[in-house]
C-alpha cells in the first residue's frame, strides 16, 4: 500500500512488530494485521485517508486508547487503523456555558480533571477512566458506575465534530443544552462505534462538582437480599450515584487472591453504594436510608474519610483486570435488565445452568456476567451459553449490552436478536452516510 507513504500530517506504522498492540482491545477478540496504522496529526491526513480508502478499496478502523470491551477498534481484513492518540487540540473549559471542549485524543482523566479544576463535574466514569481516551468513550457511548444517577456519555455531549465520508470535519450541535433545530444527528454518531464517521472532538456538558459523598459498604448474609434493593431505593426517592455489587463467587475470589484491602471484605456478597447529594452525610439522611434498608443494613459500614472511600473504589476498579489475570480466557458480558427484573434475571440464569460469576452495576441493572471457563469450553457450547444469556436479558425487557457496545464481539448476537426493521433502518443510515463502506467495516451491523 505505497499510496500511504506520502500521507501528509501523519505518522505511519507498518512493520508487524509495531502494529502488534493494535490487533486487540480489552475484549477477547483479536483481529488480523492491518495494512498499516496511521496516526493523523491534522485534517489533511484524514482527507487524504478517506480519498485513498475509497480509491483503493480498504476500510478505516478508528482507535482511541484501545481500552474497549467489544472489539470495536480491532482491525478486520484490508483495513488501516486510524489511531487518534496524536490528534491535536487542547481542553478548554467554559464555566459560563457550563461546558468543555476537548479533542478525541484527550485522556478522559484529563477531561475530568480540567472540569474539576474549575469546580465542575463531568460524570461519565467507565472503569478505564484513567487510561481511556475521550474519543473512545464517545464512539462507544461509555458507561460506568455513575451512570446509575447521571446516565451515559451521550447524555453529556452538546456537540461533536466528526470526519464524514466527504473527507471533511463537520460539527453537529451547539454549546447549549437547548438545541432543537431538527433531529440531533450528533447523537447518532455517539455510540455508533465509528460506522458512520469518526469523532475528532466534542463539547461536553458539565455540572457543579458534588461536595459531599456518602460511600457505604453493604455486606449481606444472603446475597439475593441485594436484588430488590435498587428498585426499593429508587421507589422511595433515593438515587445513588453508584450502586455496585459482587456476587458470592467474585467476592470469595477477591478475598482469597485479591489485594490487601479485598481480603478484609465482609459478607457472603457485597454492595457498594454511593450518594453525592448535599446532605447525604447528615444523620437524618443516613437514618432514613437505614430505615428503608431494614434488617439488610445490619452490617452497613460508612466510609469515614477520603482514604477509606478510595480504598473501597480501588477494589471495585481492579476487579475486571483481577479476574482477567486469573482467568485470561474468560469472556465477560455486560447485559442489562430493568432494575425491577433483577431477581427474575438471576432466577433465569440459574435455570440456564450457565457457569458464570457476576459483578457490576446492580443499581442500573447492568451486570458483568463472566464466563470464567470460556477458554476451556467447546466453541459451539460457549456460543449457545452466550445466546441463552442474551435472550434471557431481552426477554426481561433488557438488552445484550448496557455499556460496552457491540463491536465484533457481540455482532452476531446483535444481528440475531434485533428487530429486523431496526437493522434495516441502521443499514439505510449506514449506506446514506458511508456509501463506499469505508468506516469501520464489519462492525455492529
To the nearest whole angstrom, how small is the minimum distance from the Cβ of residue 79 to ligand 2HG? 25
Q: How far apart are CA 5 and CA 54, in angstroms?
A: 17
> Residues 121-150: x/- map of binding to ligand 2HG (CB under 6 A)?
------x-----------------------
Close Cβ partners of 109 (under 8 Å, ≥ 6 residues apart): 129, 130, 131
To the nearest whole angstrom, how small is the minimum distance from the Cβ of residue 230 to ligand 2HG? 16
How many CB atoms lie under 10 A from the CB of residue 341? 20
198 or 359: CB nearest ligand 2HG: 359
Question: Which 3 state secondary structure label does DSSP give 278?
Answer: coil
C-alpha torsion sign, points 62, 65, 71, 75: positive
Measured in degrees and rounded to the nearest 5, phi and psi for residue 369 equal -85, 120
To the nearest whole angstrom, how small is the minimum distance from the Cβ of residue 162 to ligand 2HG? 25
Among left, alpha and beta (phi > 0; psi -120 to 50; other), residue 13 is: beta
To the nearest whole angstrom, how small is the minimum distance from the Cβ of residue 394 to ligand 2HG? 19
Which parts of 355-374 interact with ligand 2HG (CB under 6 A)? Answer: 360, 368
140 or 203: CB nearest ligand 2HG: 140
Which parts of 2-21 interact with ligand 2HG (CB under 6 A)? Answer: none
To the nearest whole angstrom, how small is the minimum distance from the Cβ of residue 190 to ligand 2HG? 18
Cell of residue 205, nine digits: 456538558
To the nearest whole angstrom, how small is the minimum distance from the Cβ of residue 324 to ligand 2HG? 7
Binder to ligand 2HG among 332, 385, 401, 440 (CB under 6 A)? 332
29 or 50: CB nearest ligand 2HG: 29
226 or 289: CB nearest ligand 2HG: 226
To the nearest whole angstrom, how small is the minimum distance from the Cβ of residue 56 to ligand 2HG? 37
Close Cβ partners of 423 (under 8 Å, ≥ 6 residues apart): 415, 445
To the nearest whole angstrom, how small is the minimum distance from the Cβ of residue 445 to ligand 2HG? 23
59 or 405: CB nearest ligand 2HG: 405
46 or 250: CB nearest ligand 2HG: 250
Residue 54 parent element (H or E) = helix 43-56
Q: How far apart are CA 81 and CA 62, in angstroms?
A: 6
272 or 396: CB nearest ligand 2HG: 272
To the nearest whole angstrom, how small is the minimum distance from the Cβ of residue 315 to ligand 2HG? 11
To the nearest whole angstrom, how small is the minimum distance from the Cβ of residue 368 to ligand 2HG? 4
Cell of residue 207, nine digits: 455540572
CB-CB contact of 59 with 79 (8 Å):
yes
Total binding residues for ligand 2HG by CB under 6 A?
8
332 or 440: CB nearest ligand 2HG: 332
To the nearest whole angstrom, how small is the minimum distance from the Cβ of residue 366 to ligand 2HG? 8
105 or 332: CB nearest ligand 2HG: 332
Binder to ligand 2HG among 320, 358, 385, 401 (CB under 6 A)? 320
93 or 315: CB nearest ligand 2HG: 315
> Mapped to the 3 state alphabet, what secondary structure does 395-426 carry?
HCCCECECCCCCCCCCHHHHHHHCCHHHHHHH
Is residue 159 within the footprint of ligand 2HG (CB under 6 A)? no
Angle between the 379-395 and 342-352 helix axes, to the nearest 10 degrees?
Answer: 150
Which parts of 57-76 interact with ligand 2HG (CB under 6 A)? Answer: 69
Cell of residue 444, nine digits: 455492529
How many CB atoms lie under 10 A from the CB of residue 182? 6
DSSP letter string over 284-334?
A: HHHHHHHHHHGGGGGG-EE--SHHHHHHHHHHHHHHHHHHHHHSTT-EE-B
Measured in degrees and rounded to the nearest 5, phi and psi for residue 360 equal 130, -150
Which parts of 229-248 interact with ligand 2HG (CB under 6 A)? Answer: none
How many CB atoms lie under 10 A from the CB of residue 347? 13
27 or 79: CB nearest ligand 2HG: 27
Residue 59 parent element (H or E) = strand 59-63
Q: How far apart are CA 44 and CA 61, in angstroms?
A: 18
Residues within the interface to ligand 2HG (CB under 6 A): 69, 127, 319-320, 332, 334, 360, 368
Amino acid at each position: 500500500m505505497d499510496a500511504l507513504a506520502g500521507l501528509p500530517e501523519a505518522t505511519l506504522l507498518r512493520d508487524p512488530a509495531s502494529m502488534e498492540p493494535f490487533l486487540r482491545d480489552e475484549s477477547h477478540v483479536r483481529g488480523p494485521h492491518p495494512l498499516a496504522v496511521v496516526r493523523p496529526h491534522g485534517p489533511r491526513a484524514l482527507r487524504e485517508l478517506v480519498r485513498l480508502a475509497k480509491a483503493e478499496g480498504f476500510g478505516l478502523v478508528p482507535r482511541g486508547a484501545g481500552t474497549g470491551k467489544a472489539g470495536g477498534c480491532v482491525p478486520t481484513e484490508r483495513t488501516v487503523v486510524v489511531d487518534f492518540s496524536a490528534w491535536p487540540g487542547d481542553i478548554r473549559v467554559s464555566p459560563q456555558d457550563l461546558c468543555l471542549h476537548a479533542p478525541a485524543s484527550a485522556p478522559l482523566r484529563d477531561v475530568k480533571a480540567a472540569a474539576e479544576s474549575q469546580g465542575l463535574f463531568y460524570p461519565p466514569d467507565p472503569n478505564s477512566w484513567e487510561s481511556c481516551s475521550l474519543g473512545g468513550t464517545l464512539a462507544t457511548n461509555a458507561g460506568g458506575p455513575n451512570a446509575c444517577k447521571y446516565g451515559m456519555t451521550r447524555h453529556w455531549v452538546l456537540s461533536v465534530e466528526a470526519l464524514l465520508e466527504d473527507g471533511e470535519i463537520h460539527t453537529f450541535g451547539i454549546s447549549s443544552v437547548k438545541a432543537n433545530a431538527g433531529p440531533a444527528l450528533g447523537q447518532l454518531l455517539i455510540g455508533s462505534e465509528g460506522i458512520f464517521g469518526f469523532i475528532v472532538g466534542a463539547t461536553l456538558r458539565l455540572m457543579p462538582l458534588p461536595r459531599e459523598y456518602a460511600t457505604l459498604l453493604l455486606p449481606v448474609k444472603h446475597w439475593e437480599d441485594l436484588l430488590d434493593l435498587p428498585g426499593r431505593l429508587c421507589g422511595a426517592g433515593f438515587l445513588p450515584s453508584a450502586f455496585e455489587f459482587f456476587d458470592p463467587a467474585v467476592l470469595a475470589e477477591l478475598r482469597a487472591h485479591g489485594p490487601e484491602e479485598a481480603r478484609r471484605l465482609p459478607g457472603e456478597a457485597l454492595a457498594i453504594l454511593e450518594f453525592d447529594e448535599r446532605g447525604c452525610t447528615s444523620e437524618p439522611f443516613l437514618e432514613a436510608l437505614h430505615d428503608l434498608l431494614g434488617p439488610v443494613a445490619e452490617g452497613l459500614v460508612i466510609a469515614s474519610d477520603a482514604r477509606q472511600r478510595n480504598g473501597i473504589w480501588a477494589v471495585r476498579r481492579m476487579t475486571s483486570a483481577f479476574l482477567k489475570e486469573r482467568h485470561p480466557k474468560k469472556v465477560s458480558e455486560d447485559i442489562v435488565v430493568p432494575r425491577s427484573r433483577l431477581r427474575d434475571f438471576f432466577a433465569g440464569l440459574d435455570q440456564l445452568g450457565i457457569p458464570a460469576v457476576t459483578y457490576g452495576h446492580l443499581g442500573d441493572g447492568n451486570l458483568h456476567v463472566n464466563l470464567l471457563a470460556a477458554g476451556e469450553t467447546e466453541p459451539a457450547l460457549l456460543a449457545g451459553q452466550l445466546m441463552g444469556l442474551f435472550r434471557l436479558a431481552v426477554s426481561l425487557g433488557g438488552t445484550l449490552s448496557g455499556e460496552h457496545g457491540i463491536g465484533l464481539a457481540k455482532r452476531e448476537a446483535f444481528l440475531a436478536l434485533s428487530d429486523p426493521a431496526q437493522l434495516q433502518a441502521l443499514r439505510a443510515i449506514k449506506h446514506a452516510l458511508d456509501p463506499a463502506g469505508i468506516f469501520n467495516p464489519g462492525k455492529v451491523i
